[in-house]
């Protein structure tokens, strides 16, 4: 597998079978969509030096890739009869807007981390992210957007669900506004670490959570390549990744 420059990742959807998906990976991980098409993702090492995750930063992807991922997520959401999409900042907003358009909606509701002067503290919750673990932020609901959500069938969208922390914060914020989403959506479900966190918010959320594709935890081999952790030893990785 050839080396890719950082800006080359996330830019192309490849035909089924273009790259091998079994065995070991070196320069990138190959994610498969439900129709067999493929997307190359960079591999980011975890803190223990023995495990890694595949990374996706959707607002750096080409419009063609965003279009495919948004279209496939919208298809999965159709069975929930969604009235309105709510998007999580920052990277989830790109996907949320695109999914809303695919569903034929005129607009979507962006949640935010920038406090406008008319926001109310009671319409906010603490927010942390696996990509920015040292930043203390709050997640806000614009009170002007509440009429768009009340009594509607809402889907909460993020680009990636990894630790589950961000999506649970979104659920908590919506709950404080008396809103219970009918579905949760993401482009990528990154490993299974999010499941326990999501269960803490309610046992029903896992069955309502949809992803376009899933990626596993990877472990390093003797030849310094990467393989799925479930293909070899089942040792537990450290939870904090670098530069995901």
Q: Phi and psi of 214, rounded to 5°?
A: -120, 150
Number of Cβ atoms within 10 Å of the Cβ of 81: 10
| pTM as predicted | 0.88
d(Cα 155, Cα 189) in Å, to the nearest integer?
16
pLDDT in tens, 154-188: 999 999 999 999 999 999 999 999 999 999 999 99
Domains along the chain with CATH numbers: 6-60+215-231 (no CATH), 63-213 (3.40.50.2020)
Number of Cβ atoms within 10 Å of the Cβ of 97: 19
Is pLDDT at 193 greater than 60 in this prediction?
yes
Task: Flag the least confident range among 61-65, 89-93, 148-152, 227-231.
Answer: 227-231
Per the CB < 8 A criterion, the answer to whether 182 and 155 are in contact is: yes
Is pLDDT at 47 greater than 80 in this prediction?
yes
Nearest to 124 by CA among 106, 112, 133: 112
Is pLDDT at 8 greater than 80 in this prediction?
yes
Q: What pLDDT shows up at residue 6?
A: 86
Is pLDDT at 191 greater than 70 in this prediction?
yes
Question: Is the dihedral angle over the CA atoms 72, 75, 80, 82 positive or is it negative?
Answer: positive
Q: What pLDDT shows up at residue 123?
A: 74
Q: Is 238 exposed, middle or buried (0-12, 13-18, 19+ CB in 10 A)?
A: exposed
Mean pLDDT of 34-60: 96
Pairing mode, if any, of strands 209-215 and 38-45? unpaired
Q: What pLDDT shows up at residue 132?
A: 53
Q: What percent of the chain has pLDDT over 90?
A: 78
Mean pLDDT of 186-210: 95
Task: Flag the least confident range among 37-46, 52-61, 121-130.
Answer: 121-130
Split at pLDDT 50, 70, 90, the class of 117 is confident
pLDDT in tens, 208-239: 999 999 999 999 999 999 999 986 444 444 34
Q: What pLDDT shows up at residue 242?
A: 32
pLDDT in tens, 58-74: 999 999 999 999 999 99
57 DSSP β-pair partners: none
Q: Is 199 exposed, middle or buried (0-12, 13-18, 19+ CB in 10 A)?
A: middle
Q: Can you give the three-state secondary structure of the chain, one letter per residue?
A: CCCCCHHHCCCCEECCCCCCCCCCECCEEEEECCCCCEEEEEEEEECCCCEEEECCCHHHCCHHHHHHHHHHHHHHHHHHCCCEEEECCCHHHHHHHHHHHHCCCCCCEECECCCCCCCCHHHEEEECCCCCCCCCEEEECCHHHHHHHCCCCEEEEEEEECCCHHHHHHHHHHHHCCCCCCEEEEEEEECCCHHHHHHHHCCCCHHHEEEEEEECCEEECCCCCEEEHHHCCCCCCCCCECCC
Split at pLDDT 50, 70, 90, the class of 49 is very high
Q: What's the mean per-residue pLDDT of the chain?
A: 90
């Amino acid at each position: 597998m050839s080396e890719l420059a950082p800006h080359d990742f996330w830019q192309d959807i490849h035909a089924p079978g273009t790259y091998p998906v079994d065995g070991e990976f070196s320069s990138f991980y190959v994610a498969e969509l439900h129709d067999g098409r493929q997307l190359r993702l960079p591999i980011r090492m975890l803190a223990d030096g023995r495990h890694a995750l595949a990374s996706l930063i959707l607002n750096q992807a080409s419009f063609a890739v965003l279009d495919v991922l948004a279209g496939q997520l919208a298809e999965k959401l159709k069975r929930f009869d969604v009235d309105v999409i709510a998007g999580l900042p920052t990277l989830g907003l790109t996907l949320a807007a695109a999914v809303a358009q695919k569903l034929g909606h005129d607009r979507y509701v962006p949640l935010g981390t920038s406090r406008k002067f008319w926001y109310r503290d009671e319409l906010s919750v603490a927010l942390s992210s696996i990509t920015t673990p040292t930043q203390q932020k709050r997640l806000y609901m614009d009170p002007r957007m509440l009429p768009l959500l009340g009594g509607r069938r809402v889907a909460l969208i993020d680009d990636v669900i990894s630790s589950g922390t961000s999506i649970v914060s979104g659920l908590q914020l919506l709950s404080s506004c008396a809103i219970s989403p009918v579905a949760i959506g993401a482009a990528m479900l990154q490993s299974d670490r999010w499941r326990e966190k999501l269960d803490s918010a309610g046992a029903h959320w896992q069955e309502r959570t949809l992803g376009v594709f899933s990626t596993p935890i990877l472990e390093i081999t003797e030849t310094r390549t990467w393989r799925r952790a479930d293909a070899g030893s089942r040792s537990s990785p450290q939870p904090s990744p670098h530069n995901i």
